[in-house]
Amino acid sequence: MQPYFNKVTQQGYDKIAAEIEALKQDRPAKIAALSAARALGDLSENAEYSAAKRDLRHLESRLRFLDKQLRYAQVYAPTDNAVIEIGKHVTLQFQDDGSEEIFELVGNPEADIGANKVSLSSPIGKALLDHTVGDVVTIASPNGDYQVKILSVTL
């Protein structure tokens, strides 16, 4: 069975790698805090020890998760054309109210709706994929269907 690779942008890959590096830099301090808390005595009633142990477990868990994200990431380089694909910025006009919004289509690990980065697997990402400027696309969302017109596609 072939492994499944998540498409990500180079920027998203670099961001995950930077977070891994930051966590690795933080690991010695967490280990030292655990050792210091352990030295305080009775472990059954030692809140500092429990907190330090929990913090170290959380750090290790996050490192494993991010490592797996990188291991199964495939950096995708978008082409310079008007077809919507990962890594491109898309200007949309919502047909119901005429408002315009710019989104960046990114891989699943990079999705951040607050920064207008939508993933390939989101309803809007799935609907927009492989369309081009001028297309009117119907997006099936959990709250109902709506239509958008693609105004521009840029790198």
What is the SS3 string spanning 28-58?
Answer: HHHHHHHHHHHCCCCCCCCHHHHHHHHHHHH
Of 66, 47, 55, 54, the residue nearest 26 (C-alpha): 55
Domains and CATH numbers, the chain: 6-75 (1.10.287.180), 89-154 (3.10.50.30)
What average pLDDT score do residues 3-20 get? 91
What's the pLDDT at 1? Answer: 63
Each residue's pLDDT tens digit, 76-100? 888 888 899 999 999 999 998 989 9
Each residue's pLDDT tens digit, 23-45? 999 999 999 999 998 888 777 77
What's the pLDDT at 56? Answer: 95
Each residue's pLDDT tens digit, 113-149? 899 999 988 999 999 998 999 999 999 988 889 999 9
Q: What's the CA dihedral at 105, 108, 114, 115 to 10 degrees?
A: -40
Query: For the purposes of burial, counting CB atoms within 10 Å of the CB of 120, is it exposed (0-12), middle (13-18) or buried (19 or more)?
Result: buried
Q: Is the pLDDT of residue 73 over 70?
A: yes
Residue 53's φ and ψ, nearest 5 degrees, are: -65, -45
